[in-house]
Structure 1
Amino acid sequence: MRHKVYTREHILKAAYELIEKNGFTNFTARNVAAQMGVSTQPIYLEFANMEDLKQTLIKEIFDDVSKKVFSVEHTGDKLIDISINYVNFAQKNPRLFMAMYLDEKGGGRAMYDHSYVFFKETILQEEEYKDLTEAYIEALFHGTWITITGLAALMLAKVVVPTRQQTIAIIENSVNAILESNYEDNNLSNGSK
């Protein structure tokens, strides 16, 4: 009699489906196994523990989203495009967005870290941003991240419902304010005005 083999990909798919429906609140080996209709044994044969499965899943989701979602061009400015795509992702995948970016038990910190690396690599390809210092890039990322996460969360809650142009204007204003603020801070700290 042949036994069905559950590969790493099967387990990751079931884990993805589980968090897409319920977030990370009930992310247990039992629940992932139940999603697959098997015992927990295949999970522990493929992954060292649930944290290993979780971190692998977060990385796979981020890689998939960065290729299929964050890379879509809208304005020609990669920084603005990443921001628009992040807000769009939240609107189209609210449960997954909340699980991956807002859930304290979920991907929050890991997604933040992956996003920073992607953000930095992407904007350094732009002529306008290629000479920014590490401190500038960090400030730009943090400020933009706060703006777009807040905007996405408020839009999900239907507290604000901006048009596409208003969304772009909010993002552009935020980016410009961050760039100007850091420019002034750098000039003041260098003794120039």
Structure 2
Amino acid sequence: MRRKIYTKEQILRAAYEVVATEGFAGFTARNIAKRMGISTQPIYLEFKNMEDLKNELLDLIFSKLKNEIFPVPHTGDKVIDLGLNYINFAKQHHNLYLALYVDEEGGGKKMHDFSFNYFSTLIENDPQYEGLSREQIQTLHTGTWVVVTGLASLASSGSINPTQEQIISLIQRTINNIIAVNETVN
């Protein structure tokens, strides 16, 4: 009888589904194998360990966020658009959002580093924000991150339901305030 072969991509897809529904608390070889209807052996043949699988899964998610979700234009201001896309992601993929950004077992430092690097590249290549120092970019990232994470968490849980115009206004005021403070300090 011919043996069925399970690919790395199939395992990553099943791992993604587990995290998207159960968060990283459910991220076990047994749960991933159960979702695929297999034993855990193929998982350990493709990945050194669960940390290796988690890192590859996060890289896959980062690629999807970077190329498909975060760059969707709405207003013409890339920082505002990123904030809107982050909030929309949280609302549309509530469990995955929690797993990545809130859950202590989630992406953690790797998630923060990805977000900061994405944000920095976005800002550095945008004439609207040219001339900001590395420190100012960090401050702008932290300030907007706090505001959009608060909005994302509250909106994705159903605690608030702001309109897109209200979200845009809050993000724009945050950007303006941070830039104004940076200009008075420098």
What is the CA distance between 1:43 and its match in structure 2? 1.1
Paired residue for 2:97?
A: 97
Listed as ranges, the gaps of 5+ residues in structure 1 are 188-193
Distance 1:146 1:94 in 2: 18
Q: Are 1:138 and 2:165 matched, yes or no?
A: no
Aligned amino acid, residue 89 of structure 1: F
Aligned partner of 1:191 in structure 2 is: none
Matching residue of 1:190: none
How many Å separate the matches in 2 of 1:22 and 1:184? 46
In structure 1, what is the equivalent of residue 70 of structure 2? 70
Alpha-carbon shift at residue 157 of structure 1 (Å) = 2.6
Which structure is higher in helix share? 2
Structure-2 separation of matches of 1:142 and 1:49: 33
Alignment partner of 1:162 is 2:176: no
**SS, match of residue 117 in structure 1:** helix
Runs of 4+ off more than 6 Å: none
Write the letter of the residue equivalent to 1:51: E
Q: In structure 2, list runs of 5 or more residues that go unmatched.
A: none
Structure 1 residue 159: deviation in Å? 2.4
Bigger mean CA deviation after superposition, 104-113 or 86-95? 104-113
RMSD over aligned Cα, in angstroms?
1.1
TM-score by length of 2: 0.96
Whole-angstrom distance in 1 between the partners of 2:101 and 2:113: 11
Residue identity opposite 2:111 in structure 1: M
Counterpart position of 1:83: 83
How many percent of aligned residue pairs carry the same amino acid? 47
Number of aligned residue pairs: give it.
186
Instruction: Report the TM-score, using the length of structure 1 for normalisation.
Output: 0.93
Per-residue deviation, 1:146: 0.7
